[in-house]
Structure 1
Amino acid sequence: MDSLEFEAIVAQAMLAPSAHNTQPARWRLNQGYIELYADLSRRLPVGDPNDRDLEVSCGAAVEGTVVAMAARGIGAKVTLSDQPVETGLRPIARIAPKTTAEAKDAELAAEVSKRLTHRAGFVTSPKGAFEDWEATHMTLVEDRVEIEWLAKQIDIASARVMRSRAFRSELLHWMRLHQDDPNYHTDGLNREVLAMDATTARVAPTVLGGGLYDLLSLLGLGPHLSGEAARSRDAGAIALFHWPANETMIEAGRAFYRSWLQATARGLVGWPAAALADDPETRVSVSDRFSIPGDRVLFNTLRLGAANGATPSRTRLSVREVIV
C-alpha cells in the first residue's frame, strides 16, 4: 500500500460518524499497516467522561477503514491495540491488509458517501425498508405506540442531560452557529446540520450559556427547550443499540456504523439520540421496556426514516489533518 492509496482509504474512512462530529480518529501508515488512533484533544470530558462515545466513534472509523479498503479489493485484519498513549494519541487498532476482501464490505462501501445525519424529520419510509433486518446488537422498534413512548423519553433524557451548565458549555464549544466561524465547514455541529433557523442560532448561546436555561428548566420547560418529540415520532423505526458490558465499545462502534450503512442501503437516513443512553434513568427504563439483557449496555439510539426534505452537506476536516 503506497501513500496515495492510503490517503484515498482515509478520505473514505473519515466519513464515519462521531459524537458531536468531533472526528477524533487519526490514521497512520506504518510499514504497510494502517494504525488508527484517538486524538484525546477531541474528547468530551463532560458529556463522555468514561470515553464510551470516543470509543464508539473510533470503532466506527475502524469499520470505515475496513470498508474503504474493501472498496479497493483489499481485505483487512483488525487487531485492537493495548499500547500506551503517546503524546495525546491513544492507539485504537492496527489494520493489516489481506489479499481478499469481504464482498459484503465492498457492497457497503457504496453507501458511505450517501450516509448522513438528518435532524429535520421524516416522511413515510420506503415499503419494506425494515423487513428481514435483524442483528444481535440492535433492537428495532417499529410499533407506533412504542415509538411515541421513545420520543417522549428522548426529550426527558435530553432535558436531564442539558441541566448541566458544564455540559451545555461543552456542547456550545462544538456548535458552529454562524458562517463566519472558521470551523463552520470542518467539524462540530453547524446550523444547517442542526436544522436550526437563524433566529434560534442567534439566541442559542445566550440561552444555553447562562442562567436563563437553568431558570426555564426549573419551571419545567426543559423538555420544551431541547424537545425533539414532534420530529422523533415521525421516524419509521427507532433502533436501540446494545453491546455486552464486558466487551469493548470499539467493536460496538464498528457494529453501529455497519448498521447505519445498511440503513442507508435501504433508503433511510438516521438521527442519533445518544441522550437515552447517557441518562442513567432513561437507559434503565428503555432497557427494561424492550427486554435488553442485564449483561448488555444500551450505548446509542438511532431514529430511522426517509428524509423530510434536503439533507445537509457533510462537514469534515481535511485528509491531511487526520493523518499523523
Structure 2
Amino acid sequence: MIDESILKDIISEASLAPSAHNTQPVRVGYNKSDDSFTLSIDTKRELPIADPTNKDAYISMGCFVEGLELSLLKRNYAIDQIKFKPEKGIVFISTKKQPHPEITELQNYIFSRFCHRGKFRELTTENLAALKEFYQQQENCLWLYDPELKKEMAHDYDQAAWSYLNQDDYYQELHYWCRLDQNHSHYYKDGLNLDSMGLQSWEKPFAKVIMKPNVLNFMKRIHMAKPLLSEADKTKSAAGLLVIHGKKEDNFIQWGRIFYRQWLNLSKFQAAGSPLSSLIDHSESIEKWERKLNIPSDSKIINILRVGGFSEKDRPKRCRLDIESILQEEQV
C-alpha cells in the first residue's frame, strides 16, 4: 500500500499534465489492496461541442498516465500493465514495486513545463541547435523552422480556429471555461484565466470585455472579431513548429503519452510550447499538412506545438484542482 501522503504527491504531479481548455477531466481511483489505479473521465468536464468523441479527453488521460508513471518511478514503483476500455471510458493500471527508484530528467520537467500562449522570445543559438538536433532524431517528431512554412501554418491555424470560434455554441462552451475575472472562484483552479492567455498587462482589461459573447458578436458584425483573435504574430514569433505524430493503430492513451513526453522534452532546451489544437481538429487543414509533410500513411499528427524562448515573467501561475477533487475517495 502506498502511504497516503506519497499517494497525494504522486497524483499531484500527474495532474500537472495538460488538458484541452485546462478542464482537467481525469479522475483517479486507487485500490489499496494491489496498488492499482482506475482512471475515468468526469462527465461534467467533457467538451461536447469541441470534443464530441472525447478524443481530446482521452489524449489528456494519456498525458496523465505518462505523468503518473514518471512520478511512480522515482518512488520505487512502475506501471506493470495498462488496459484501456474505451467502451467504458476507463483506464485500468496495475503497478509493481521496484527495488530502487528510477530517476529521469523528465521528472523535473513536469514542474517546469507550461503552455506559453503569448509571443515567444529568442532561444539561444546553442539551445536552438541542440533542440533541432534532438527532435530530428525522434522518430515521432518533425521540426519545422522555415519562415515560409511558419507563415503558412500561422494562416491555416487562424483559419481553422476562426471556423470554430465563429460558431456560437463552440464559443459559448469555450467562454464557460474562460476565467476573465480574478474574483472567479476557479480563477487559479481550472480553465483559462487571463494570466494563462499570454496577454500583456494592458491587454487584460480589454480581453475581459471583448471576450464576452455579446460583445464578440458585435465585433463580428463590424468585421473586427477575426483580426482581434488572430494568433498569426504569435505563431510567426516561434523558433519553429514541433509536429508530433503517432501510429494509427495506437490508441489515444498512447498518443497522449507520446505528446506529453515530447512536450516535456522542450524544457531540456529552456523552450516552451503552445499547441495548435484547432488545426488538428480541422480535418481539411490537417489532411493538407499530413500530405505536405509526408507523414507516413500508417500515422496521424497528434498535435503541433509552436515553440520558442521565454522569460520567467511569461510563466503564469499554475492552475490546478485540489487533489481531493481528483482522487475519488470511494475507490481508495
TM-score scaled by structure 1?
0.90
- In the alignment, is residue 175 of structure 1 matched against residue 178 of structure 2? yes
Matches within 5 A, 1:48-87: 48-82=51-85, 85=88
| 2:266 match | 263
| 2:210 match | 204
For 1:254 and 1:102, the matched residues in 2 are separated by 21
For 1:227 and 1:83, the matched residues in 2 are separated by 36
Whether the aligned pair in 1 keeps the contact of 2:259 and 2:302 (CA below 8 Å) is no
Of residues 160, 163, 179, the one that matches 2:163 is: 160
| 2:138 match | 135
> Deviation at 1:179?
0.5
For 2:284 and 2:4, the matched residues in 1 are separated by 48
Pair 156,210 (structure 1): closer, same or farther in 2 beyond 3 Å: closer
| 1:99 match | 98
Pair 209,316 (structure 1): closer, same or farther in 2 beyond 3 Å: farther
| 2:28 match | 27
Cα-to-partner distance string for 1:205-233 (whole Å, 9 max, x where unaligned) = 435676325435xx5x5641321111111
> Deviation at 1:77?
2.0
| 2:119 match | 121
RMSD: 2.1
| 2:305 match | 302
- In the alignment, is residue 315 of structure 1 matched against residue 319 of structure 2? yes
Of residues 288, 291, 295, the one that matches 1:292 is: 295
Whether the aligned pair in 2 keeps the contact of 1:168 and 1:208 (CA below 8 Å) is no
Unaligned runs of 5+ in 1: none
For 1:311 and 1:93, the matched residues in 2 are separated by 34
> Deviation at 1:287?
1.2
For 2:38 and 2:233, the matched residues in 1 are separated by 42
Give the secondary structure class of the aligned counterpart of 1:307: coil
Of residues 107, 110, 126, the one that matches 1:109 is: 107
Pair 68,132 (structure 1): closer, same or farther in 2 beyond 3 Å: same
Specify which structure has the higher proportion of helix: 2
TM-score scaled by structure 2?
0.88
Pair 211,132 (structure 1): closer, same or farther in 2 beyond 3 Å: closer
Query: For residue 119 of structure 1, what is the amino acid of its counterpart?
Result: R
| 1:15 match | 16
Matches within 5 A, 1:213-232: 213-216=219-222, 219=223, 223-232=226-235
Q: Which moved more, 1:110-119 or 1:291-300?
A: 291-300
Q: Which moved more, 1:239-248 or 1:266-275?
A: 239-248
For 1:102 and 1:184, the matched residues in 2 are separated by 36
* Corresponding residue pairs, total: 316
For 2:294 and 2:225, the matched residues in 1 are separated by 28
Query: For residue 198 of structure 1, what is the amino acid of its counterpart?
Result: K
Of residues 195, 198, 211, the one that matches 2:198 is: 195
Query: For residue 113 of structure 2, what is the amino acid of its counterpart?
Result: R
Give the secondary structure class of the aligned counterpart of 1:122: coil
Unaligned runs of 5+ in 2: none
Q: Which moved more, 1:123-132 or 1:48-57?
A: 123-132
- In the alignment, is residue 185 of structure 1 matched against residue 183 of structure 2? no
